[in-house]
A and B are shown apart, each in its own frame.
Chain A
Amino acid sequence: MNVMLNLRAVKGRAYPRVIGALREPSWAFWDTFLPILSMAAYVYVYKSLNAPKEFEGFVILGGVMTTYWLNVLWGMASQLYWEKETANLQLYLAAPMSKMSILAGMALGGMFATTVRGVSIILVGVFVFQVDFVITNFWLLIAIFGITLVALYGMGMLFASLFLIWGREAWHINMLLEEPVYFLSGYSFPVKALGLSLSVAASFIPFTLGLDAMRQLTFPSMAEWGLLSPYLELAILVIMGTFLVLLARYALHYMENLGKERGTLTMRWQ
């Protein structure tokens, strides 16, 4: 594998994302301010039910992680669909770089806007909703956050491979992965409430374990709502992340070949 080539490709593809965000600043309104309103609605639901304050914090943290999940879905996984529709995909496929470096570039480039949104959500949580984050182990928290992102983006690359053979079907699968995943992964509530079997099943989504561990490390008073110990969750996420990235590599190669066989790599408006 040509490392320099792929690193340059990552840089090349990240560039339009960063420049696009700077040149079209309306994303700050659509992708940052407005989604915070929806998240705030969930906080008010807990207020209306007189829930413990920490539950509001669960929503805030869930909101932060869902911004990365949405970046995975819309900024990476489905992006190959848009590249196909705008005739860029065939140029990417005919170039010598790895497809994963293109996807990584998209993810890294989108990280700027995503992180702005994530930080905004935390600021809203702290200053508007007066949520108190009590970090019990900073480095473990950072490690879990980082590994969760790696696993999430690995999963995103796996989904992206579907767009090499499908068109709107994969697009709609992407859309389906919002609310149902929010529910299964405990976006706004501790996933343990789903019961053991459902929680374990939901743990196959990296988001679930990552969020659960981060909640335990920032709201220690609610530790009884934790599913597994953060250290165990970290270990599982490392294995999951490695597996997903390797699987994504295989899937991209397999789906590309399948797309070449079926003639769908350059087929628009599927």
Chain B
Amino acid sequence: MSLKYSMWLEYQIEANWTSPVIFILYNTLKPVGASFLLLAMYYVVTGGFLGGDALYYLYIGNAFYMLLSQTLFSVGWIIHDDREHYQTLKYLYIAPMSYFLYLMGRSAMRFVLSILPLAVLIIIGIFLGVPYNVNVLLLAITFVLGWVFIVSAGLLLCGVNMLTARHGGSVGQAFAGIFYLLSGVIFPLAVLPGWAVKASLWLPSTYWFSLVRRSVLGGEVDSIMSGFTTTEAAEMLVVLSAVFFFISFSAYRLADYLARKKGMLDMTTTY
């Protein structure tokens, strides 16, 4: 029940300020702007928009990154919003429902709402000549595994937010920046320094983006990630997602305990 109603609540918070048409437009413009930024960067270097593995790598990676960044952007606000804006955190917390499931529900709905702009970007990709070669089953599995990883990341972020002040608007996006840099999202991993490549191979997101490319483009163009077969990449994603979930959940529980111990569940920190 907490899952169902928290998903409903997330939808209301995200969408009931405007009509559905405006909401769809709003949800699409931001990711499209981000994609066009990268396309412009590609253009100034190469002089064109069409052709090239580098463009498809960049474009598809960024499109699917929107799922991650938009979910984490919203999740990054949940604790601060509930605690300081709506001042409902303490009431939700003491209710018999699981607060953990409440957070999961809200991030799940945000994930679902982020699929629409992704679909728009995929369609735009057709006009850019992205050579789609979709493996539907692999894509479905990738989505499910991606949801687990993204929700885990959200949980970690929520835990940290329980103990920190409300600083600015982009805590979630900033957190997503770690994955943006280290997961081979918009550039091949080989461009990174050696130590960074080693670190990236420990992130579940690296394998997730590789599976995304394989399921959408029909193959892996990253020179480092192409050293893994699809099955190996999926296995790594499953194992690392499980580990990441365990770490995130543990961190969340610790943060929860500390927040209760220090009386931070209803603190106000806006300045």
Residues in chain A within 8 A of chain B (CB atoms): 16-17, 19-20, 24, 26-27, 30-31, 34-38, 40-42, 44-51, 55, 70, 73-75, 78, 82, 85-86, 167-169, 172, 174-176, 178-183, 186-190, 193-194, 225, 269-270
Query: Once the chains are docked, how many angstroms separate the CA of A194 from the CA of B99?
Result: 48
17 contacts between A and B (CB under 8 A): A20-B165, A27-B165, A36-B177, A40-B181, A45-B41, A45-B187, A47-B187, A48-B54, A48-B191, A55-B41, A70-B168, A74-B169, A176-B30, A179-B34, A183-B36, A188-B40, A225-B44
Q: Is the CB of A189 within 8 A of B168?
A: no
- Chain B: minimal CB distance from A84 (Å): 10
Question: Among the listed stretches B107-115, B118-126, B138-146, B263-271, which one makes contact with chain A, having 4 or more residues with CB under 8 Å of it?
Answer: B263-271
Interface contact A42-B41, CB-CB below 8 Å: yes
Q: Which residues of A contact B38 (CB under 8 A)?
A: 45
Q: Does B249 contact A (CB under 8 A)?
A: no
B192 in complex: contacting residue of A30, A34, A44, A190, CB < 8 Å: A44
Q: How far is the CA of A169 from the CA of B19 in the complex (A)?
A: 11
Which of chain A's residues have a CB closer than 8 A to the CB of B41?
42, 45-46, 49, 55, 188-189
A205 shortest CB reach to chain B, Å = 13
- Whether the pair A183, B187 counts as a contact (CB closer than 8 A) is no
Interfacial chain A residues near B239, Cβ < 8 Å? none
CA gap between A269 and B86 in the complex, in Å = 8
Task: List 9 tightest A-B contacts by C-beta distance, closest first.
Answer: A20-B271, A180-B33, A34-B174, A38-B177, A179-B33, A74-B169, A24-B165, A168-B17, A48-B187
Contact check, B178 vs A37: say whether CB atoms are below 8 A apart: yes
Q: Are A189 and B40 in contact (CB under 8 A)?
A: yes
CA distance A30 to B271 in the complex (A): 16
Cβ B33 vs Cβ A30 within 8 A: no
Question: Chain B contact residues (Cβ within 8 angstroms of A): what range?
Answer: 35 or more
List chain B residues, Cβ under 8 A from A31. 167-168, 170, 174
Residues of A within 8 A of B226 (CB): none
B30/A47 in contact, CB under 8 A: no
* Complex: chain B residue closest to A171, CB-CB: B17
B175 in contact (CB, < 8 A): yes
Closest approach, in angstroms, between the C-beta of A176 and any C-beta of chain B? Answer: 6
In the assembled complex, B171 has its CB within 8 A of some CB on chain A: yes
Q: In the complex the two chains form, what is the Cα distance from A30 to B185 in whole Å?
A: 21
Q: Does B188 contact A (CB under 8 A)?
A: yes
Verify B84–A37 contact, CB threshold 8 A: no
| Contact of B44 with A193 in the complex, beta carbons under 8 Å | yes
The smallest beta-carbon distance between B21 and chain A, in angstroms, is 14
Q: Are A44 and B181 in contact (CB under 8 A)?
A: yes
Q: Are B45 and A49 in contact (CB under 8 A)?
A: yes
Is residue B31 contacting chain A, with contact meaning CB distance below 8 A? yes
Chain B residue numbers with a CB within 8 Å of A187 are: 37
Q: Report the separation of the CA atoms of residues A269 and B268 in the bound assembly, to the nearest whole angstrom.
A: 17
Question: Could you list which residues of chain B lie within 8 angstroms of chain A, going by C-beta atoms?
Answer: 17-18, 26, 29-34, 36-38, 40-46, 54, 58, 84-86, 164-165, 167-171, 173-178, 180-182, 185-188, 191-192, 268-271
In-complex Cβ contact of A44 among B84, B170, B187 (8 A): B187
Assess A37 versus B29: contact at CB under 8 Å? Given A16-B271, A183-B36: no
Contact B269 A24 (CB under 8 A): yes
Q: How far is the CA of A225 from the CA of B42 in the complex (A)?
A: 15
Residue of A nearest to B73 (CB): A175
Minimal beta-carbon separation of A186 from chain B (angstroms) = 8
Pick the contact of A41 from B43, B167, B187 — CB < 8 Å? B187
Given A16-B271, A42-B41, A188-B41, verify A175-B167 contact (CB < 8 Å): no
Q: A30-B167, A70-B168, A179-B30 in contact; A85/B85 too (CB < 8 A)? A: yes
Complex interface: chain B residues within 8 A of A194 (CB): 40
Separation of A21 and B271 alpha carbons in the complex (Å)? 9
For the complex, give the distance between the alpha carbons of A58 and B87 in Å: 42
Most chain B beta-carbon contacts within 10 A, residue among A24, A75, A179, A269: A179
Q: A20-B165, A47-B191, A179-B31 are in contact. Are A55 and B44 (CB under 8 A)?
A: yes
A17, A49, A190: residue with the most chain B Cβ atoms closer than 10 Å: A49
A138 to B268, CA, bound (A): 43
Do B164 and A41 touch across chains, with their CB atoms under 8 A apart?
A: no
Q: Which residue of A lies closest to B23 (CB)?
A: A172
Q: How far is the CA of A74 from the CA of B171 in the complex (A)?
A: 11
Minimum CB–CB distance for A128 against chain B, Å:
9
Q: Which of A41, A46, A179 contacts B185 (CB 8 A)?
A: A41
| B29 CB, min distance to chain A CBs, angstroms | 6
Chain B neighbourhood of A178, CB < 8 A: 30, 33, 170
Note all chain B residues with C-beta closer than 8 A to A168: 17
Complex CA gap A30/B177 in Å reads: 10
Most chain B CB within a 10 A radius of its CB, from A24, A34, A35: A34
